Amino acid sequence: MAAPERSGSLLGTVKAVLWGFLGVRQRAEYEKDIKRLNPLHLVVVGMVMAFVFVGALIALVNWVAG
């Protein structure tokens, strides 16, 4: 049995990850995203966004302390 094709957009993946970072996602929307989005894309976008967040914090601290 083949796995179902998941056709989620990059923007949809980014939105889902942002809502996940904030922790204010409704259960129905979460379940809809799980069915629609590719898990590998979610992990990759989540890691990239985490690195961007940490880099922004480091830049902010350097700017304030410098």
Q: List the chain pLDDT tens, one digit each, 66 residues.
A: 555 666 678 888 899 888 888 888 788 888 888 888 998 999 999 999 999 999 999 999 999 998
Q: Give CA torsion, residues 51, 20, 34, 9, to 10 deg.
A: -60
So what's the pLDDT on residue 22? 87
pTM summary value: 0.76
Q: Within the chain, what is the greatest distance between any pair of CA atoms? A: 59
Output the CA–CA distances (angstroms, integers) from residue 28 to 8, 48, 51, 60, in the order listed: 17, 26, 28, 36
d(CA 27, CA 42): 17
